[in-house]
Structure 1
Amino acid sequence: MARSSRLLCVLYLVTGAALASTAVVAFRYGSAWAGCLFVAASLVQVIAVVRESVLCDHRRAAARLRRLHAAPSAHPGTALDVAVRSQLDAACCERWWTSLGTDHDSACRHRTRRSSAA
């Protein structure tokens, strides 16, 4: 959690504690509706602390994803990427691609006729 977020959480908690103590005083010496109002206001401060911690988790996850996508060479590709790369490396010639693996160019090193029939 960043320093500003921690400071904000501390301010929320201090404000919530002050509102809770005001609610106690309102219940003892004042009206019940004012006490309920101060209790609700102190709960809003607790919700704000929870929200701030959730935002911190989201920021941390976004930073991790940015780091992962910033250096693609550090991580090998997925299984699909590896399979596609191996098929592209095993390709013969342009005619082989366009004929779905049945014909080859005259200069192709794999002059044998391949069939794609199952």
Structure 2
Amino acid sequence: MANYRGGRINEEIKKEISNIIMNKMWDPRLKDVMISVTAVEVTKDLKYAKVFVSIFGSEEKTIEALKVIKKSAGFIRKEVSSAVKLRNTPELIFELDNSINRALHIDSLLSKIKEKENHE
């Protein structure tokens, strides 16, 4: 039962953070990249939430966008607290999720191998 509640909280916080980043953050360094919140993992005591974000753009702009998001963690937490009714809003810890980029890289490598095999 507690696992189900944790899953609901994770999804609700994920939805709210996505909405906040898309609609309430006006930093120009976020305009040249596409940001997606891929997962949220809240600790059992609800004190911390690890937020995984995937950022599409050049490597330089990705790093800059992640810095902006990390520096805005307090603002994002405040916005989450007004949208998600919890006794304590977890402290947000943002991490870069490279799984999508790795999957795209592997897919391109597989495509190159397949193309090379077709030419032989």
- TM-score w.r.t. structure 1 length? 0.35
The structure with the largest alpha-carbon Rg is 1
More helix by share: 1
Specify which structure has the bigger relative contact order, considering alpha-carbon pairs within 8 angstroms and separated by 6 or more residues: 2
